[in-house]
Structure 1
Amino acid sequence: MENEVRIVNMPLIPLRGLSVFPYMVLHFDVGRKKSIKALEAAMAKDQRIFLTTQFDIDIDTPTPKDFYQVGTICKIKQMLKLPGDAIRVLVEGIQRAEVETIIEENPYFRVDLKTYNDSIEMDKEARALMRSCVNAFEKYITISNRVSADVILSVSAIEEPGRLADIIAAQITLKTEQKQEIINAVEVKERLEKLYILLLTEIEILQVEKDINDKVKNQINKSQKEYYLREQIKAIRDELGEEDAQEDEIEEMRKKLKKLKLGKKIDKKVTNEIDRYSRLSPSSAESGVIRTYVNWILDLPWKKETKDEINLNKAQTVLDEDHFGLETVKERVVEYLAVRDLTHSMKGPIICLVGPPGVGKTSIAKSIARSLNREFVRMSLGGVRDEAEIRGHRRTYIGAIPGRIINGIKEAGTKNPVFLFDEIDKLSSDFRGDPASALLEVLDPEQNKEFTDHYLEVPFDLSNVMFITTANTLSTIPRPLLDRMEVIQVSGYTEVEKLNIAKKYLVPKKMEAHGLAKTALSVSDDALLDTIRKYTRESGVRELERKIADICRKAAVRIVKGEVKSVRITDKNLDKYLGKSKYHYDLIAENDQVGIVTGLAWTSVGGETLSIEVNTMKGKGKLQLTGQLGDVMKESAQAGLSYIRTIASEYGIEDKFYEELDLHVHIPEGAIPKDGPSAGVTMATAMISALSGVPVDRFVAMTGEITLRGRVLPIGGFKEKTLAAKRAGIKKIIFPYENVKDLEDIPEIIKKEIEFIPAKTMDEVLEHALVKKESKHEDQK
């Protein structure tokens, strides 16, 4: 009988879909935190761990009721960390054991075990069972071909019955429940009997499978016979002079290939494919796959390209016709053309147009293509998470096709189009690969000369393609990808620019789209300005275009009904066509107020003004922040408060205000999340005003990040913030000194109406913001 030995405090791991036998060596991956902790505990002690099997592989967090009680004590041979915090473990089965007591379940399963040592009397029955199992296993190997024939030699040499049963059970293909039956059989004779029954059952199943395979093989032989007969029919047709459509197609393929002159390697590969196609029956599935592949190769524009029209005056005219403003972008395109005209061999640069939605990034790319006389291809990358979208599928997959880059080149019909990757900041990645990494080869001028699509398996030259990308933000673009691109910021439009765009482009375009004659509709400048201010809130002109389309539709209805012959839209009747105004912009207050400061913020649709309010109350120095503020903005408020405590006396603030007063900082429109460091100086100014009682100039707006020492740090989105200040009627903007360089991007019309004051420290900010500054020196006087 079995000898029992108590083993205390051994870690346990429940396995999913795996069964471990004694004397078995295998590896598996561990990813659950609980299992990893069990491994670590085992390694810290004696490297032994108890492995058992879960009933259901779909359970992620098993309980003691979810796994078998009998399993195998194993020795951990090797551990290897894998990406994603998983661990690959190599173990060797040592001995059967059964859970007697579960000591603890967290942080991992730790159990008391009852072990079983194989012990059997070698009588005639035991020897007969061993011989029967070996013979059955030999027959299993012969039929299945799943186990090497050499294994039977090593198995036959085993003299211990228990070990023999375990090794054979580990070699054959069984369900988890069947394997567990063998593991549960602690008595050796019972184990041999169960193994023998399972082997006989498996042999019967394998024999049925073999019969089925033989039938299928006979059918294949039949297909080969049919192919032979078809070849005879083909020969008869040749004798009779009848035409063969497939032969004509193959001959046409060979002619196209010869004409293309693709080089020895590609010619050889495509020729081999054509030869294979010629030997296949037209009705076979592989025949269609090869034909599609060869046609893809032959239809690509390997040698076709449009000739660039290097005419700087024409290019400037095209860009000016299509877009109002955007001088930096136009200047960059003209520079590229000039260099191309001088070098005749410059590779296409990779321009990344970054800006808010609706500012015309995609249409700029179209204009570049028109100015160069090139074809235009657009590929949207928003939500693309499969690498095969870029590189294509390998031909081993059913339904494989080339990637969208090669597909776009084919549609363009030339090898040097302007290729736009739209929304490159919205790329994703998952288990199917990383499209951003695949784009590295495409956008690298040193590598894309021999871009290899997985489907084509031959290099295609992309070096003459002019790649352009667009994005709303740079923060989500992977750094290696961004490093290959030249970033051009496309900022939002001013009201004057939007008015000109509407008059010159949008109104005529929408009138033509809605079938309105030039005299059928007129829109005044005041009506367009009201549409921009009261019905849209955006950096670009996409929503403005929709509103103009609304006006055109309603005008068309009145004209078709016969109510009027023409429609004139003014600021007086605009609401009849667009309804009540949708937006209003914050305007400056009527009076200078204490504790209220106008800040400037950047959003995805342009700049906004923020009215920051601060109240003081008797308390214990608590700082309360409301208005759905993000962590960065909360930290800016804390930094501002710390700065105020160091300079309190200079502005007539009680030294111990932080022990006697509570401060409440609030930014209205609490439903809208707000974050960013650029409100630091604004919140600090509002708190100083509230604590000192000195009002803030209502015509002043400010932006900048604050440090504990009162330094003002630079910010982004300066132009958009300036446009927001202009809309609100601000006369003076205080901004970080390091942003002086950004004044170049501010339109002259705004510079004339707003005074810009650069500030290095909070003292400079307060000097211009506070209506009356009472310094410590003046108090002493």
Structure 2
Amino acid sequence: MGWFGKRKASTPREAAPVAVETPSAPPAAAPVRAHDSLREQVESAGLPPEILDTARAECDRMDSVDPASPEYAISLNFLEVILSLPWNTATRDNLDIARAEEVLNARHYGLQRVKDRVLEFLAVKSLCARRNPRILLVDDELIARENLTIVFEADGYDVEAVGNGLEAVAAMEREPANIVVSDLKMEGMDGMELLQVLRRRWPDTKVIMITGYATVKTAVDAMRRGADQYLGKPVNLTKLRRYVAELWEQSLRAQHLRGFVLCFTGPPGMGKTSIGKAIAEALGRKFMRLSLAGLRDEAELRGHRRTYVGAMPGRIIQGLRKVGTRNPVIMLDEVDKAVQDFQGDATSVLLEMLDAEQNTAFVDHYLGLPFDLSGALFICTANGVERLPAPLRDRLEVIEFPSYTPGEKLQIATRYLIPEVLAQHGLDEKLVTVPDETVDLLIRGYARESGLRRLRQQIASLCRKLAKRVLTEGAGAVTVDRAMLQELLGAPPFTSTAAQKRPKVGLATSLVWTEIGGEIIFVEAARMRGSKQLILTGSLGEVLRESAQTALSFCRSHAAAFGIDPEFYATSDIHVHIPAGAVSKEGPSAGVAITIALLSLLTGRPVRQDVASTGELSLLGEVLPVGGVREKLMAARSAGIPVVILPRGCEAGVRSIEDEVVEGLDIRYVTTMEEAAAIALCDADNADLADGAAENAAQ
């Protein structure tokens, strides 16, 4: 049969392959994407609407980006920054005035004016917090008015409900409300007409419009005419209550906290930064410090745009992430040290941060989104405000930190510094005793600056030497007397300048301000045959040289009034010298003293050495006010000078100086040079009597 014949039955036929239908495998599970959890966090974080929309858009963008690409990492970091910011987190202020005063007094001795200003702020805020906000409900439906009244009264608001716009205007005239919640469609005067009246007559009142005919057009129209929020009916009570609370917070901040930007200014070591921490502790707020010393680039504060490689938020946003609250106490330290040059002005960003009209929407370059800084309490510190731009100074309330008096330094050293530094060096007050007499020498001889930094350093140096002595010599309890202090620290680098005892011709005493406090200086005048030269020595600055020239011109123009030969300058040279030539001297305060020295030289009348003066002299003989009076009076007391001549313009300022500073001083106020000369110059015939008076005063 060939190959195509029938096979034998005995030969088993090969089974043909049979297709077996097997159940299909389940589809592979979709891979879990890393940013899905971020999307869940975004939705549940309670972000403000604008921020939430941006975060959602960024999540959508990540869906189309390869996770291995740099763009994915940039978006991921951006979302993590958004989620880590305290958009809605704030600490509750502790407004207990008595507790705040205890905290400030426990942390700092003295500085009463600064403490009073802080307590005044807390008192105002406390009173505002006690007052219930007033809400005016305007709706022609009685049931709606009654229901909303019950809701807001339960929240602690004072509520008044009326039926139309005319009644609302009458209610506002009786007692203006903080917030008006108004229906749109009403008889007599509708919501839009009422809104126009409110914006014209009560512009600070917040307005929320509600309507059952909500459309995009009516919403846009209401917002354009000045409504603060817009809601449709049926009303979402949760959203309405939130809007009311937010608007009341904005109103409260705008009315009572605007402009509260303190700037602590004064010499180094006065405790400006530490009192900022005490304010935060008294309020119960977080504390955030930013040092602006040497800051040159604005981007350090505002951040870099995300298009740059390695971009990150600025120091403001980073600090808020760290403290975790949107209303901390933010201390901008060393504001006057920020660099302003052709490369940039870092202080320009402070204008937005510190302005209450702008800081509600502070925009960091990295985020590109507004962050509300209005809840933060800003405090600036500076050694002087002269270098600050004028627009920035206008936003600051400058509070000067005066120099500590020797008595205040003594109390601070014995109560705070010595126990603290002893503990830091392994010592205690049982092992080491420092009497008040030794502390007084330490202050006057080793730490003469206005602040406390050098005093702390000298106490630390003393403790180190005592620690070594205790270990090497096995000494027991040690009492550090004045002799031991000088043995351990060496001879005092500062010596007090004492007043002269005998009245002298051509020698006057002036009070000046220096960086370490007040000082007295002596002005010497000499006359010799010459050719009309005014010789000025003593490392004098330009302003001080001009003061000497003004003094000489006054003497020449008023020669007849003082009995001076009008031709005294024709064949003479006048030499004015201020000793301590190695120390630069500047300022107009020595003008009166230079004139007294010249008048004494030209009239032969000695100058009383128990008298010191300060003041600027005009060409017509008027004595003009100067600054640093408190420190100058302290210098007069330290030098044993009982009589001080001050310009009349300084009298009001002296009244606010502590009694400790002015005690024992005979302060004479003058307006003209003739009055000053009558006090300071002796009659030539009574020089011996003046000499005896000066010696008695010195004793």
TM-score (normalizing by structure 1): 0.66
Q: For 1:37-186, what aligned pairs fall within 5 Å after superposition?
A: none
SS at match of 1:645: helix
Paired position in structure 2 for 1:661? 572
Residue 383 of structure 1 is aligned with which of 294, 307, 310? 294
Does the 8 Å CA contact 1:651/1:774 hold for their aligned counterparts?
no
Q: Find the counterpart in structure 1 of residue 38 from structure 2.
A: 253
Structure 2: give runs of 5+ residues left out of the alignment.
1-25, 130-251, 687-699
Instruction: Out of 278-287 and 752-761, give the one that drifted further.
Output: 278-287
Aligned to 2:198: none
Matches within 5 A, 1:365-444: 365-444=276-355
> Does structure 2 conserve the Cα–Cα contact (< 8 Å) formed by 1:387 and 1:432?
no
Name 2:98's counterpart in structure 1: 313
User: 1:768 maps to what in 2?
Assistant: 679
Shift of 1:390: 2.1
- For each residue in 1:621-679, what CA deviation from the matched residue of structure 2 results, as whole angstroms up to 9, or x when unmatched? 21111112111111111111111112223333222111122111111222222211111
Shift in CA distance, 277/511, structure 1 to aligned 2, threshold 3 Å: farther
The answer for the alignment partner of 2:468 in structure 1 is 557
The residue that corresponds to 1:347 in the other structure is 257
Separation in 1 of the partners of 2:55 and 2:631?
A: 55
Indicate if the aligned counterparts of 1:611 and 1:667 stay in contact, CA closer than 8 A.
yes
Give the secondary structure class of the aligned counterpart of 2:341.
Answer: coil
Contact 1:726–1:754 (CA under 8 A) maintained in structure 2: yes
Instruction: State the match for 2:117 in structure 1.
Output: 332
RMSD: 1.9
Q: Summarize the alignment of residues 445-456 of structure 1 with structure 2, pairs less than 5 Å apart.
A: 445-456=356-367
Quote the Cα distance in structure 1 between the aligned partners of 2:568 and 2:528.
10
The one-letter amino acid of 2:551's match is G
CA apart distance, 1:419 = 0.6
Matched, 1:268 2:91: no
Within the alignment, does 1:289 sit opposite 2:94 as a pair?
Answer: no
Alignment of 1:224-243 (within 5 A): none
Contact kept, 8 Å, 1:735 with 1:759, in 2: the verdict is yes
Aligned residue for 2:381, secondary structure, equals: strand
Instruction: State the alpha-carbon separation in 2 of the partners of residues 499 and 404 from structure 1.
Output: 39
**Cα offset, 1:476, TM superposition:** 0.7
Supply the distance in 2 between the matched residues of 1:554 and 1:734 (Cα, whole angstroms). 45
Is the 2:304–2:314 contact (alpha carbons within 8 Å) kept by the matching residues of 1?
Answer: yes
**2:319 and 2:636 mapped to 1: Cα distance?**
44
CA distance in 2, matches of 1:279, 1:431: 43
Counterpart CA distance in 1 for 2:593 and 2:494 is: 24
- Give the match's secondary structure for 2:93: coil
Matching residue within 352, 375, 396 for 1:485: 396
Q: Partners of 1:275 and 1:577 in 2: how far apart?
A: 72
TM-score, normalised by the number of residues in structure 2:
0.74
Judged with a 3 Å threshold, the aligned counterparts in structure 2 of structure 1 residues 518 and 275 are, in CA distance, closer, same or farther, namely farther
Picking from 520, 535, 551, the partner of 2:431 is 520
Q: Return the alpha-carbon distance in structure 1 between the equivalents of residues 350 and 276 of structure 2.
A: 19
Q: Secondary structure at the match of 1:683?
A: helix
Letter in 1 for 2:674: D
- Aligned partners of 2:529 and 2:573 also within 8 Å: yes
In the TM superposition, structure 1's runs of 4+ consecutive aligned residues that sit over 4 Å from their partners are 238-244
Instruction: Name 1:759's counterpart in structure 2.
Output: 670
Per-residue deviation, 1:240: 6.0
Q: CA deviation at 1:278?
A: 4.0
Work out which structure has the larger RCO, using CA pairs closer than 8 Å and 6 or more positions apart in sequence: 2
Contact 2:590/2:614 (8 A) holds in 1: yes
Distance verdict in 2 for CA 1:485–1:240, change over 3 Å: same
> Within 2, Cα distance between the matches of 1:334 and 1:487?
16
SS at match of 2:483: coil
User: Is the partner of 2:590 in helix, strand or coil?
Assistant: helix
TM-aligned CA distance change 1:601 to 1:278, over 3 Å: farther
* Structure 2 residue aligned with 1:575: 486
Distance 1:632 1:240 in 2: 87
C-alpha distance in 2, partners of 1:556/1:281? 65
Instruction: Pick closer, same or farther for the CA change 1:648–1:424 going to 2, 3 Å.
Output: same
Deviation per residue, 1:344-380 (Å, 9 max, x gap): 3343710011111111111111111111111111111
Deviations 1:587-628 (A, max 9, x none): 111322211111112223322222111111111221111112
Task: Please state how far the C-alpha of 1:239 moved relative to its aligned partner.
Answer: 6.2
- Alignment counterpart, residue 444 of structure 2, candidates 526, 530, 533: 533
Deviation at 1:749, TM superposition (A): 2.4
Pair 287,430 (structure 1): closer, same or farther in 2 beyond 3 Å: farther
CA contact (8 A) 1:719 1:745 kept: no
Offset, 1:557: 1.5
- Partner secondary structure for residue 330 of structure 2: strand
SS in 2 for 1:673: coil
The separation in 1 between residues aligned to 2:265 and 2:490, in whole angstroms, is 34
Q: Distance in 2 between matches of 1:270 and 1:669?
A: 68
SS at 1:379 equivalent: strand
For 1:351 and 1:613, the matched residues in 2 are separated by 43
Give the distance between the partners of 1:457 and 1:450, measured in 2 at CA: 11
* Cα distance per residue 1:711-764 (max 9 Å; x no partner): 000111111122222222221111110011111342212322211111101111
CA contact (8 A) 1:299 1:410 kept: yes
Whichever residue aligns with residue 512 of structure 1, its letter is: A
CA distance in 1, matches of 2:634, 2:41: 59
- State the AA in 2 paired with 1:262: L
Asked whether the equivalents of residues 599 and 610 of structure 1 are also in contact (C-alpha less than 8 Å), the reply is yes
Contact 1:386–1:429 (Cα < 8 Å) also in 2: no
User: Are 1:736 and 2:647 counterparts?
Assistant: yes
Cα 1:577/1:283, change in 2 over 3 Å: farther
CA distance in 2, matches of 1:526, 1:257: 66
User: Does the aligned pair in 1 maintain the 2:405–2:661 contact within 8 Å?
Assistant: no
CA displacement 1:683-705 (0-9 Å, x = unmatched): 11111112222111111111110
CA distance in 1 between counterparts of 2:476 and 2:304 reads: 58
Partner of 2:609: 698
* Structure-1 residue corresponding to 2:600: 689
1:468–1:747 CA distance, 2 compared to 1 (3 A): same
Aligned to 1:644: 555
* Residues 347 and 464 in structure 1, CA contact (< 8 A), matched pair in contact too: no
Secondary structure of the 1:753 match is: coil
Partner Cα separation in structure 2 for residue 252 and residue 499 of structure 1: 61
Cα distance, 1:276 vs structure 2: 2.6
Pair 1:274–1:710, CA change in 2 (3 A): same
* Distance (Å, rounded) in 2 between the aligned partners of 1:731 and 1:750: 12
Identical columns (%): 43
The code of the aligned residue for 2:380 comes to T
1:626 equivalent in structure 2: 537
CA distance in 1, matches of 2:360, 2:588: 44
Q: Are the aligned partners of 1:450 and 1:462 in contact in 2 as well (CA < 8 Å)?
A: yes
**Cα drift, residue 432 of structure 1:** 4.4
CA pair 312-773 structure 1, distance change in 2 beyond 3 A: farther
SS across alignment from 1:609: strand
